[in-house]
Copies of this chain bind each other. A is one copy, B any other.
Amino acid sequence: MNGAESLVRTLLATGIDTCFANPGTSEMHFVAALDRFPAMRCILGLHETVVTGAADGYGRIAEKPAATLLHLGPGLANGLANLHNARRARSPIVNIIGDHATYHVAYDAPLASDIVSLAKPMSHWVHSSPDSRQIAGDAARAVQAARTAPGQIASLILPADTAWGEADGPADALPIPAPSLPDTDAIAEAVRWLRSGRKVGLLIGDRALMEDGLSLAGRIVAHTGAELLAPTSVRRIQRGAGRVGLDRVPYPVDMAVKRLAHLEALILVGAAAPVAFFAYPGKPSTLAPPDAAIIPVAAPGDDLIAALTALAEATGALATPVPVRPYTPTAAPTGPITPDTAAAAVAATLPDDAIIADEGLTSSRAMAPQTADTHPHDWIQITGGAIGCGMPLALGASIAAPGRPVLCLQADGSGLYSLQALWTMAREATPVVVLIFNNRAYRILQGEMTNVGVQNPGRVFTDLFQLDRPTIDWVLLARGFGVPGERVETAEALTTALARGFASRGPYLVEALI
């Protein structure tokens, strides 16, 4: 058995059975090993940003890592932006990055580069395996790192001779560290605040946004009168009818500061204190009121259910009924496509148990409130601000949950970063409806331009922020990649098109002019 086979068998032994890939020559022995083990599903992306973004979506829905297969430094580099989002989402991913044979490094061949330096900023764990007899053990350590709560990016570099040299056999799975228990002093302080009758926010994140955490948190706020909040960007929320609803901290700094201004204390369970996405002259970096008490009860990756259970018990909230959202049908909207009518069209057509992958940005701003009472669904979204994650996330989510309908809410400018994901959707016949909001601009940047005080934008602003010279035809792009679709210009047509897309049970693109 060579190193590559020992690696594949170790991955399978540690529960990894999906590999998003774009390999090259230096990974050829690893591909040959994959070829001998059909239990590992291999999915090709036409660009590494599709590969890593899909692994992120997969990790968020499957709650376990996929592997990626990347070709040396440039292949990794192409995937870094979506690894950045995955790192911020705390998704578990095991990257396998091919490298030159160890003895070939001295010759500085054209594709050589410092892979460790490239991998570190977007990885929690990086290791280059020096020897074919060590790769199996290194792979077990990589999987252990990726599976360590709250989920980590593990990057394992595989020199070609480590793959083709002799190995002893696969390695066993290593134990995953148990999550830390919450801090009892912090719990006591949080309970004092929750019982105080004062204005308290309970900000929950990470896995507390899954149904069981939300139910506990919902009881606590129903019983104590606190407010339930989620961070601006979240890895995954389980929401819709029958679940506890909650507000997210708004993205614009002024709105976020205003939203939190009345709070006297902010209790953190699986979330950090909210900070501004960007700095702006004269605006604060932190969003909570400067004199509010910040009580970090549990960090992401801690035992958040234990933390919420402790808070619920100590406040006497465990017997309180869970305040779930009702199911409220949404009427099909009419008129032009706006963020509001688009959200209504989504609420009116979303199938039960869907997954929404949201990179709609400015066009998605009405989605959360308008879909709060529709059928229950999972919501995943852009977390790190690296644009181009929407369609790859949707692809990976669909691979992780084959039976479920997926809706991708995709801003046009961001979608152009990773449109190649459409081809993999066609190839894998994933039931993903991609709703492109085509406003023919980087609309969010036009807003930011005003935020930083630009009054009379000139030619350069128009050239850099408008995408209408020439206009882009998303239906043609989708067809070029084998995905059917249609363009719509009214809310009625949008509703019909979404319904048609969900009924198609395959990938379908709806280009909405907004």
Contact = CB atoms under 8 A, between A and B. Distances in A.
A265 interface: no
A104 B285 CA distance: 6
A470 B427 contact: yes
Given A34-B460, A35-B460, A473-B479, A113 B107 contact: no
Contacts of A285: 103-104, 106-107, 109
Contacts of A384: 74, 110-111
Nearest to A467: B46
Contact of A479 (B31, B42, B420, B476): B476
A38 interface: yes
Interface in A248-307: 272, 275-279, 281, 285-286
A330 interface: no
Given A117-B121, A121-B73, A464-B21, A38 B459 contact: yes
Given A383-B110, A472-B480, A279 B121 contact: no
A399 to B, nearest CB: 14
A274 to B, nearest CB: 10
A420 B416 contact: yes
5 contacts: A32-B461, A35-B460, A77-B84, A100-B279, A473-B480
A503 interface: no
**Chain A interface: which size bin?**
35 or more
Contact of A110 (B32, B277, B470): B277
A416 B46 contact: yes
Interface in A142-161: 160-161
Nearest to A454: B32
Contact of A275 (B42, B43, B109): B109
Contacts of A277: 25, 109-111
Given A32-B454, A35-B459, A38-B459, A445 B23 contact: yes
Nearest to A47: B417
B464 A109 contact: no
Nearest to A413: B46
A464 B49 contact: no
Nearest to A412: B46
A444 B117 CA distance: 28
Interface in A74-120: 74-75, 77-78, 80-81, 84, 88, 100-101, 103-104, 106-111, 113-115, 117-118, 120
A120 to B, nearest CB: 5
Contact of A44 (B276, B420, B454, B464): B464
Contacts of A388: 47, 78
A111 B80 CA distance: 12
A457 interface: yes
A468 to B, nearest CB: 10
Given A77-B77, A78-B81, A275 B464 contact: no
Contacts of A275: 107-109
Contacts of A78: 49, 78, 80-81, 388, 417
A207 interface: no
A58 interface: no
Identify the 3 closest CB pairs spanning chains A and B, nearest first.
Answer: A470-B482, A74-B386, A77-B80
Given A80-B74, A281-B164, A472 B482 contact: yes
A187 interface: no
A452 interface: yes
